[in-house]
Chain A
């Protein structure tokens, strides 16, 4: 028999950005095999039966790879389990901790404005990528694979950065609501590879300028983002972004405009 428990959920409810927002309390029957999102589903099923508006929360793949879920669970972005998205957080983990009462909040950052309840608008992150997180190349047929050798350790590091799913947990966990880890990961996964070299020094300046223009805070090297990241992306990439940025500002012959 699967273990079940009755949990008390305090869920952030907010109609829209102009509403003040408040916690509302729900009782939910929790099964150890459920994911945290499934627990919210059961609450929503009941709310819909009662003719009340369901709790809005972002979700898509529920496999931990799409980056849509975005819940701060009892003070932890994506919940208390390391390297796990909220959708992959099973309630047995919550039972282990003995939590009976759980507070569920959205990502909180000015740059990620409120949409409704637990849903925030993360297009600021998309705009950072649009500013330079791409490679301008002719997209014809695939080139011969061995034409451009990439050492294994470099490819691995690029992949470590590329595991970023853009969920924004780094912003949510950061005491300054900084998007440094996100931006650094996006800069690094291109900047490490040969195809990304041509635009490397322009990319870092444009993306950092966009990151600042969106109103994210700065990095104070606390390391919260690294711990909250469901993919465990290292803050070493932030140091790499800083180095690339300072180098680009000092050495580049062209100027970059502020957004």
Chain B
């Protein structure tokens, strides 16, 4: 049946939706990292930052809803394209050599779901940890309980335990790999290309992927190396309860 062509009918439209939502999510990961780097400024600065994020609930929930929307668009268009692409070649090659595909491009369909599962784990751990675990040990890790007014300790003490560190490191590596292909791909999909500046697309993808990977890995490394330690200070922030 003939109908008016809409953006979302087409593979290019779906890719554009994926790229645009990806930009929002990338923006969040950058903001998230720069906020968390405050952990190196000490417990007061870090906890004050956590409190500040929650001072205007409308903004907090607005941002959360925008991110949720971006996630839904990103995942649903990825799923639809994946299904279409998988069906486009029913008989597979017996022999096929990939000449240009890099590791990141080849693993996009894996790093995506890994990130989703990691994200759920991460939210359960540090965002909803208080509601989920109450006074019980977090994820059953002995001696690791939730401190409602002290996100600094919830973070730092978590990285003293391998069941938190291992999924975290895997999640961060998946993020870096996903972004390496995703950022370059975003330019190509949205048609941002010019021979004078094309090399910058790869450079930017490498720089941002490296920044986000190394930046996020700095937290468990700093804790495990003993550079950052839990604080004995007491905090009382009603916003964080």
What residues make up the interface of A, taking CB atoms closer than 8 Å to B? 21, 23, 72, 74-76, 103, 105, 108-111, 114, 173, 175-178, 205, 208-209, 211-212, 215-224, 226-228, 235-236, 238-246, 249, 255-259
Interface residues of B (CB under 8 A from A): 2-7, 9-16, 81, 84-85, 87-101, 105-106, 108, 181, 184-185, 187-193, 195, 198
A108 touching B89 in the complex, CB below 8 Å, given contacts A175-B98, A222-B101, A242-B191: yes
Which residues of A sit under 8 angstroms from B81, Cβ to Cβ?
Answer: 217-218, 220
Q: Would you list the 5 A-B pairs with minimal beta carbon distance, nearest first?
A: A243-B191, A218-B11, A217-B88, A75-B97, A176-B85
Q: Are A74's CB and B95's CB within 8 A?
A: yes
- How far, in Å, is B197 (CB) from chain A's closest CB? 12
The distance in angstroms between the C-alpha atoms of A103 and B13, with both chains bound, is 37
A222 x B84 contact (CB < 8 A): no
Residues of chain B within 8 A (CB-CB) of A212 are 9-11
Contacts of B181 in A (CB 8 A): 221
Q: When A175-B101, A242-B15, A258-B5 are in contact, do A72 and B89 touch as well, CB less than 8 Å?
A: no
CA distance A243 to B184 in the complex (A): 15
* B108:A103 contact, CB within 8 angstroms: no
> Among the listed A109, A215, A235, A246, which residue makes an inter-chain contact with B12, where contact means beta carbons less than 8 Å apart?
A246
Pick from B9, B12, B15, B100: contact of A226, CB under 8 Å = B100
Whether A176 contacts B88 by the Cβ 8 Å rule is yes
B89 contact set on A, CB distance < 8 A? 108-110, 176-177, 217
The smallest beta-carbon distance between B14 and chain A, in angstroms, is 7
User: What are 29 A-B pairs at a CB distance below 8 A?
Assistant: A76-B97, A76-B99, A108-B93, A114-B91, A175-B98, A178-B11, A205-B5, A208-B10, A209-B10, A218-B11, A218-B12, A219-B188, A220-B81, A221-B184, A222-B100, A222-B101, A224-B98, A227-B99, A235-B188, A239-B188, A239-B191, A241-B191, A242-B12, A242-B190, A243-B191, A243-B193, A246-B190, A258-B2, A258-B3
How distant is the Cα of A208 from the Cα of B101 in the complex, in angstroms? 24
Min CB–CB distance B99 → chain A (angstroms): 4
User: What's the Cα separation between A258 and B1 when bound, in Å?
Assistant: 8
Closest to A204 in B: B12
A257–B7 touching, CB < 8 Å:
no
A23 CA / B193 CA spacing, docked (Å): 43
* Cβ contact within 8 Å between A242 and B100: no
The A contact surface, by secondary structure, is: mixed
Please measure, in the bound complex, the distance between the C-alpha atom of A108 and the C-alpha atom of B85, giving whole angstroms: 13
The answer to whether B88 touches A242 (Cβ under 8 A) is no
Pair B88/A74 contact, Cβ less than 8 Å: no
Given contacts A208-B12, A212-B9, A212-B11, 18 further A-B contacts (CB under 8 A): A23-B94, A175-B85, A176-B85, A177-B85, A178-B88, A215-B88, A216-B88, A218-B81, A219-B188, A222-B98, A223-B100, A227-B100, A240-B191, A241-B12, A243-B193, A249-B6, A256-B4, A258-B3
Distance in angstroms from A196 CB to nearest chain B CB is 17
By beta carbon, the residue of chain A nearest B98 is A224
Report chain A residues within 8 Å CB of B85. Answer: 175-178, 217-218, 220
Q: Which of B5, B9, B94, B188 contacts A238 (CB 8 A)?
A: B188
A256-B5 contact in complex given A218-B14, A243-B190, C-beta closer than 8 Å: yes
Known: A175-B85, A205-B5. A249 touches B13 (CB 8 A): yes
Establish whether residues A242 and B105, one from each chain, have CB atoms under 8 Å apart when the complex forms.
Answer: no
> What are the residues of chain B within 8 A of A219 when measuring CB–CB?
11-12, 15, 188-189
Give complex CA distance A259, B184 in Å. 32
Contact status A245-B10, CB under 8 Å: yes
Nearest opposing residue in chain A for B189, CB measure: A242
Looking at B7, B15, B108, the one whose CB has the most chain A CB atoms below 10 A away is B15
**A184 vs chain B, min Cβ distance (A):** 10
> Does the CB pair A209–B5 fall under 8 Å?
yes
Nearest chain A residue, comparing its CB with the CB of B181: A221
In this complex, the member of A110, A175, A243 whose beta carbon has the largest number of chain B beta carbons within 10 angstroms is A175
> Which residue of A is nearest B13, CB measured?
A249
Which chain B residues lie closer than 8 Å to A257 at the CB level?
2-5
> Closest Cβ of chain B: how far from A201's Cβ, in Å?
12
A208-B12, A236-B195, A257-B3 known; A220+B185 contact, CB < 8 A: yes
A218 to chain B, nearest CB (A): 3
Q: With both chains docked as a complex, state the minimum distance between the C-beta of A156 and any C-beta of chain B, in angstroms.
A: 12
- Identify which of B3, B88, B95 contacts A177 (C-beta below 8 A): B88
Please state if B198 and A111 are interface contacts (CB–CB under 8 Å): no
Closest to B198 in A: A236
Chain B residues with CB under 8 A of A75: 93, 95-97
